[in-house]
Structure 1
Amino acid sequence: MDLRQFLGIIRARWKFVVVTIGVGALLTTGLLLKTSPSYASTTTLFISTPATGAADTYSGTLTAGQRAQSYANLATDSEVLQRVADRLDIKMSTGELRGKISTSVVTGTLLLKIDTKASSPELAQQIASVEADEIIRLVKNLETPSDTEIPAPIIARVAGKASLNKNAVAPNIYLYLGVGLMLSFLIGIAGAVLRDLLDTTVKTGDDVETMTGNALMATLPYDAQVKKQPLSIEEGNGSLGEAFRVLRTNLQFANLDATRQMIVVTSAVPDEGKTFVATNLAISIAKSGRSVLLLDADMRNPNVADILGLENSVGAISVLLGRATLEQATQEHVSGVSFLGTGPRPPNPSEVLDTQAMRDLMSTLRASYDVVIVDAPPMLPVADTAILMTEVDGALLLARFGSTTREQLRQAVNRIETVGGRLFGTVLNRTPRKALGRYGYGYGYGYGYGYGEVPTAPKSVESDRKASSGGVMSGAGRRVRR
C-alpha cells in the first residue's frame, strides 16, 4: 500500500476515524470524571552519624549512606505502616497504605525522601509527617545498643517538614486527554485500514476485471434524487444522462457485427440496480434513433411498469396464454421505448421461461426491434436468467459499489459461462461521488433492485399514462403500431 492508497482509504473512511476519535474522547472524559483526584506531600529525613574527626566523618558518611538505603526499604514494612495507620486512625490496610507511600535516597546525599499521596492534601501531609516520625523511631530503636549508654551510631532527623499542596497531582487532565485522543486517532486510522483490507465487496475496476475477466463498462455514481425522478428522459441531465450514453456506446462496440441486439440486464443478487439501469439504458438507446423494446422478464418481482408509469396487468404471459396479441400487450412509453410487461404472475416462472412458446416470443421480438433490453431476475437466487441466456446475445451484469462481494460477482459470471452465455460487460452501480476521485471512475448512477421500495414515475409520465386509454388494458399507455 503506497501513500496515495493510504490517503484514499482515509478520505473514504474519514467518518469512521472521526467517530472513533469522538468515542475515545468520551471514554477519556468518563475516565477522568470517575477518577478521584490525588494530592501529594513530601518530607525529607537526614541520616547521619556523630563524628569527632576527619576519619570518623568519612567512615560515618559511608555508614550513614548505606544505612539510609536500608531504612528507605524498611519504611514500607508492614509493622511501620500499621503504626502509621493506628496513629492516624484511618481505615486503610497496610497494603493500601503502602501504595500511597514511596521512599528513596537522594543520589549522592544522606537525604531520605518520603513521598505520599492521598485523597486530600491534609491527609497526604499527615501521612508524610507520621511516616517520618515512625522512621526516626525505627532508626533509634535499631541503632541504639541495648544495655549500654553508648549513643546510637546512626541518627535520623527531619530535614524538611511535610508539604501541604492544594493542587491535585492526578489525574493530569491534559495528559489524559492528549493520550486518549492520540490513541483514538491511531485506533481510528488502523481500523479504517483494516476494514478496507478485510472488505470483500467490489469497489474498483480492478475488482471487476479480476472477477469477470472483462473491463468495467460503466460506473454509475449514487444520486439520491433518483428516488424522485427514476428516469433519465431529459437530454441535458448532466452526469446521469452522460453515463447512459457512455454505456450505450460501449454496448455497441461489444457486438459490432450484430444488426439487431437482445441484451439481458441482470445482477448477482437483488438490490443491485438492474431494473433502473435496464429502463434508462433502453431510453438512452431509443434516443439514438433505434427501435427499442424493454421486456420485463422478472416474473417473480416485476418493477419496470412502476418506473415507467405503465400497466403490467397484460404482458408476455398474456401473449403466451393467447389472451392478447403481442401488439395488444405492448405499450409505448413517451420516451419512445416500447414496453412489454410480464402480465399475470405465473406460479412457476422458470418453467414458463423454459418453454418453446417463450423462445418463439423472444425470436419474434428480436425480429421486430433493433434492440431488445430484457430486465431479468438476479443470477444467484433463481435460475430464470440462466434460462434466458440461451436466447439473448449477451448479458450486462450489475454490481453495487460496497455491497456486491467479489465472490458473488464471480459466481454470477460462472453461471453465465456455464450455460454458454456471453458477458458483454459489468456496470458498477451506486458509486459514491467521493469514491470517483479515489478510484478514478467516470460517470454514472444506479437504483436499487426493487424487492423493496419501488420508485414512482415522474408526474409528467403519470399524467401521460392517465390521459391514454383503449385496447386491452385501461390506462395502459399508447399501443405500438408497426
Structure 2
Amino acid sequence: MSELMGYLKAVLNGWWKVLICAVLGAALAMGATAAATPQYESKVGFFVVAPSSQNQSALEADALVRGRIDAYTALMTSRQFMTQLVSASDEPLQEEQLVQAISASGNADQHSLTVTVRASDPHQALALARSVATSFGKLVNDLEADSDKPQTVLNVVSEPQLGQDPVSPRPLLNLLLGILAGLVVGAAIVILKRQADETVRSAQQLELEPALPLLATIPLDGAVRRPQSGSDPGTSLVLTESARRLRTSLHFGPGYSNHSVLAVTSPRRGDGKTTTALYLALALAEAGERVLLVEADLRNPTLAHRLGIPAEPGLAETLSQAAPVDAVHRNFRPRLDVLPAGTQIGNSAPLLGSPAMARLLEQARADYDVVVLDTTSLLPFADAAVAAALSDRAIMVTRYGRTPLGDIAIGLNALKAVQATVVGTTLNAVPLSRVELRAYAAGQRSELVAPGAGPQGGEASAKHVLKEDADPVGRRS
C-alpha cells in the first residue's frame, strides 16, 4: 500500500510531465485527424424469408434461413459478386477497391443482413450501395433458381441513404483517446523514472543503521534556494522550525556535551549543508547557547557572501598565520559569532588537518558552548572527513530526490574510516503539502521577530572586527 501511495505521490508531483504528454497526445490526435481522408457510409438492409411449405416445419425454415444468412454474408464479399458488381457499374471500379469498401454482417436471430459501403465521397457511397442492392438481389435469385433445395426470398427492407456527415475520422473521439493515451504515457514515464531513481526520497531509506537516527526532516522552502548576498538569514519559518527540531534531537541525543564541536557535512555539493549549518547555529544561539559558526569549506566558500560580510581574512588566513588577525565577526546575531572561510584554497585538507586547526578548535571549545563547522562535501574530497575527525560529533545532510543512496553509504564509510562520531542524518528539501504550507504560513504571521535581528541589528554584526592579540578565536567575555 505504501508503495502504491509512493507512486501516486510521484505522479502528482510530476503532474507537469503528465500534462505535457497529454497535450502532445492531443496534438498528435488532432494532427492525425486533420491528415485523414473523410469516409462516408451508406447502408442497405436485406430481410431473408423462407416461403411456407407443407413439406417443412417452422424449425426447419428457421434453420434454412440461418444457413442462408451465413452463406449470403460470405457471398457479399466474394470475388464472384465483386466481378458482377464491376460489370454492372457504369463507373470504372476495381475489385480490390470494392473488397475494401464493402462489408456485410448478418443477424441470424432477426433473419437480416446489413451491407455497409464506404467511400470518400458521399454520393459515390450512395450509388455503390444502390448498385449492391440491385446486383446482389439478382445474384441471389439466380443462385436460388439453380438450386434443388428449398428456396428463400431476399427482400430489401432498408433503402440506401445519403450520408451527410463523415463516419471517419471522429475528431472528438480521437481527441479524447489522444489525451487518454498521453496521460497514460506521462504517468508511465513518471513511474518508470521513480523506479529507476536511486536518490533518497523517504525517511525509511535513511535508516541504514539502527544507531544512526534521522534527526530531522527539513522541508523545502523556495525562498532560500538562491539566497542573495546579504539576505537576512533566519527569516524562513519553515527552516527555523526544522532547525529547532534538529537542535532538540541533538540536545537529547547521545554524545551531547557543552563546549563541543559539531561538523555538518553532506555526501555531495548542493545537498543543503551550509543552509542547515546556518539555521542550526541560529537555533542554538536562540536557545541561549554561545555559538561560533565556522565556514570550513575552503574549496567553495559561500557563507560570507550569503551573510553579506567580508570573506577575507578568514579561516584560511588564521590557520596559515599570514597575519596576526582576528577574523571572527562577533555578535552577528545575539550569542552568534561567524568565522568565514577566507581565501579560497583548492587543496585545503592539509590545512584543515594541521596542528593550527586543532589548536583553533580547542580554543573555540573553551570559548563557546557549541562550535558548528560548515565543512565541504564528503565526495570526492577528503576535507570533510579531516574536519569531522577533529570534531566531537558530526551529522550528515541529505537532500530529497538529489542525494544518491550509494553516495550516502560511501560518505558514512569515509567518516567511519577516520573514526568520526556520526550522530545522525537529516533529510533536506522535503516537499510540503498544501495543508503543511498553510500551517507554516499561519505560524509565520504569528511569529514575532526581535527588534534589531539580522545583519541590520548593528554595525558590529556586519563589520570585520580586528584584534591586536594573536588569539585566533577570541576569548569569551
Q: Same fold (TM over 0.5)?
A: yes
Residue 37 of structure 2 corresponds to residue 39 of structure 1? no
* 8 Å contact kept, 1:212–1:413: no
1:272 to partner: Cα distance: 0.9
1:382–1:178 CA distance, 2 compared to 1 (3 A): same
Residue 76 of structure 1 is matched in structure 2 by 77
CA distance, structure 1, for counterparts of residue 435 and residue 411 of structure 2? 25
1:214 to partner: Cα distance: 2.2
1:280 to partner: Cα distance: 2.4
1:338 to partner: Cα distance: 2.4
CA distance, structure 2, for counterparts of residue 346 and residue 261 of structure 1? 26
Q: Map 1:284-433 onto structure 2 (within 5 A).
A: 284-325=283-324, 328-336=326-334, 337-433=336-432
CA distance, structure 2, for counterparts of residue 90 and residue 266 of structure 1? 85
TM-score (norm. length: structure 2): 0.79
Give the aligned residue type for 1:343: G
Deviations 1:70-92 (A, max 9, x none): 34312222353355457657677
- Structure 1 vs Structure 2: percent identity of aligned residues? 28
1:398 to partner: Cα distance: 0.8
Q: Paired residues, what number? A: 454
Give the aligned residue type for 2:459: D
1:463 to partner: Cα distance: 8.7
Residue 215 of structure 1 is matched in structure 2 by 213
Where structure 2 has 5 or more consecutive residues not aligned to the other structure, the ranges are 444-452
Residue 271 of structure 1 is matched in structure 2 by 270
SS in 2 for 1:54: coil
CA distance, structure 1, for counterparts of residue 436 and residue 385 of structure 2? 36
Deviations 1:183-218 (A, max 9, x none): 555555555555444433222221222368522212
* 8 Å contact kept, 2:88–2:135: no
TM-score (norm. length: structure 1): 0.78
* 8 Å contact kept, 1:294–1:338: yes
* 8 Å contact kept, 1:12–1:434: no
SS in 2 for 1:55: coil
CA distance, structure 2, for counterparts of residue 266 and residue 324 of structure 1? 29
Give the aligned residue type for 1:262: V
Residue 204 of structure 2 is matched in structure 1 by 206
Deviates more, 1:279-288 or 1:108-117: 108-117
Give the aligned residue type for 1:54: Q
Residue 283 of structure 1 is matched in structure 2 by 282
Deviates more, 1:95-104 or 1:173-182: 173-182
Deviations 1:356-390 (A, max 9, x none): 33333333333332211111111122111112222
Deviates more, 1:406-415 or 1:260-269: 406-415
* 8 Å contact kept, 2:40–2:119: yes
Q: Map 1:101-140 onto structure 2 (within 5 A).
A: 101-108=102-109, 111-139=112-140
Give the aligned residue type for 1:38: Q
SS in 1 for 2:128: helix
Deviates more, 1:368-377 or 1:354-363: 354-363
1:397 to partner: Cα distance: 1.0
* 8 Å contact kept, 1:268–1:412: yes
1:305–1:39 CA distance, 2 compared to 1 (3 A): same
Deviates more, 1:89-98 or 1:38-47: 89-98
* 8 Å contact kept, 1:211–1:409: no
Deviations 1:14-71 (A, max 9, x none): 44444444444444444443444332212234667889x6338988987676455334
CA distance, structure 1, for counterparts of residue 109 and residue 278 of structure 2? 89
CA distance, structure 1, for counterparts of residue 191 and residue 395 of structure 2? 32
Give the aligned residue type for 2:249: N
1:420–1:95 CA distance, 2 compared to 1 (3 A): farther
Deviates more, 1:171-180 or 1:337-346: 171-180
CA distance, structure 2, for counterparts of residue 436 and residue 415 of structure 1? 39
1:293 to partner: Cα distance: 1.8
Deviations 1:429-478 (A, max 9, x none): 1222228869xx9xx9xxxxxxxxxxxxx9955993798467489xxxxx
* 8 Å contact kept, 1:139–1:154: no
* 8 Å contact kept, 2:332–2:454: no
CA distance, structure 1, for counterparts of residue 187 and residue 124 of structure 2? 44
Residue 54 of structure 2 is matched in structure 1 by 54
Deviates more, 1:429-438 or 1:257-266: 429-438
1:261 to partner: Cα distance: 1.0
* 8 Å contact kept, 1:16–1:192: yes
CA distance, structure 2, for counterparts of residue 65 and residue 295 of structure 1? 94
